[in-house]
Structure 1
Amino acid sequence: MTELDWLEILLRLGSATLAGGAIGLNRDLQGKPIGLKTLGIVGLSTAAVVLLAVEFAEPGRINDAASRVIQGILTGIGFLGAGVIVHESKGFRVSGLTSAACTFLAACLGIICGAGQWKIVAAALALAFVLLTVGRRVESWLHRILGGKDESHETASEQGPERSA
């Protein structure tokens, strides 16, 4: 059994909360239905459960019990993400997929923080922010170059009354 000290526990839980909260802040600033508190709690809760599982594992190893905990977390997070998508669905137009993916990412980062793998957390968070910051612009640019349908240039009449406001 591994015995983590208070500082290590606070570091793992705090970083998971901050990572999830940072992703949530991005979603909140974009006016999306999921924000800092929700994704911060997702990161914190997943890290806490993984910490519990890691406490009972051999030092430096993920055992079968920890693996099952991680699998259960990821299955449960799917339901939370689906709720974001269903809540935001209007007619035949599905929205909320990026927020659902961010929920999944916050959970994964929580798992990784709980396992204490800081390089993976830093790299994943950096890449996520690059994608969330410039992704839409790159997507629009590629649509223009490759001739795809660019949804950001639809007219208000094509979008319907709920999207034109």
Structure 2
Amino acid sequence: MATLADVLDLGPFQWSALLCCALNGFFIGIERQTRGKPVGIRTSVLIISGTYLFMALGVSLSHEKMDQARVLGQIITGVGFLGAGVMMTQDGKIHGVTSAAVIWVLSALGLMIGLGYQYQSVIITLLALAVLLGVDKIENSFKSLRRGVHQKLGRFTSKGER
């Protein structure tokens, strides 16, 4: 008969790391979701968790640093394709670049956690949130920062067109 400890044993994975993935993903995801962006809570938690799981597997399969670096490199490449999927062109302007960058940061957080840097991942999450929230406030404070693709919808352009 399996004991509770056997059922809760995750092998190479750690409950604390999964909790760290969930919390970091939740906080970045809630910022994105409340703004109506394509990378919300579920997506954020899944990206961090997925990259953590792949990296933790890579670490558990081989303690050779080069093998782990190959796993890391393949994850980065794969996540680049995921990020490219959220970018699109509309009216000659590219949209979704920040969401693609967020996906890359989310995967980096998962890799950090997979390599044992849980506390540092929390600090990076806070820094990412500071960028996502703080730069928006700065852009809204300075008219010169709201040009081009950063121009708010519904405002008149320099030619008086809407």
- Change in CA separation of 1:117 and 1:148 when aligned onto 2, cut-off 3 Å: closer
Report the Cα distance in structure 2 between the residues aligned to 1:55 and 1:154, rounded to whole angstroms.
49
Structure 2 segments unaligned to the other structure (5+ residues): 1-8
From 29, 38, 56, give the equivalent of 2:34: 29
Q: Aligned equivalents of 1:13 and 1:153: distance in 2?
A: 38
The number of residue pairs the alignment matches comes to 148
Task: Report the counterpart of residue 161 of structure 1 in structure 2.
Answer: none
Q: CA RMSD in A?
A: 2.5
1:10 has 2:15 as partner? yes
Of 66, 72, 82, the match for 2:74: 72
Moved more, 32-41 or 19-28: 19-28
1:63 Cα deviation (Å)? 1.3
Question: Using the alignment, how far apart are the partners of 1:64 and 1:94 within structure 2?
Answer: 37
% identical aligned pairs = 27
How far the C-alpha of 1:44 sits from its partner, in A, is 0.6
Hey, what does 2:51 align to over in structure 1? 46
2:129: which partner in 1? 129
Change (3 A) 1:68 1:98: same
- Shift in Å at residue 119 of structure 1? 3.1
Secondary structure class of the residue paired with 1:43:
helix
Any idea what SS the aligned residue of 2:109 has?
helix
Distance across 2 between alignment mates of 1:27 and 1:69: 28
CA distance in 2, matches of 1:111, 1:51: 8
Shift of 1:157: 5.0
Contact 1:17 1:110 in 2 (8 A): no
Matched position secondary structure for 1:94:
strand
- Structure 1 runs, 4 residues or longer, greater than 2 Å off: 5-8, 147-158
1:123-149 alpha-carbon deviations (Å, 9 max, x no partner): 2011011111121111343x44xx455
SS of 1:84's equivalent in the other structure is coil
Distance 1:68 1:120 in 2: 22
Structure 1, unaligned stretches of length 5 or more? 159-163
Shift of the alpha carbon at 1:10?
1.2
Q: Alignment partner of 1:34: what SS?
A: coil
Q: Could you tell me the TM-score, scaled by structure 2's length? A: 0.79
Structure 1: how far apart are the matches of 2:14 and 2:36? 33
Deviations 1:83-128 (A, max 9, x none): 1012xx3121111111111111110000101111123212201101
AA matched with 1:69: V
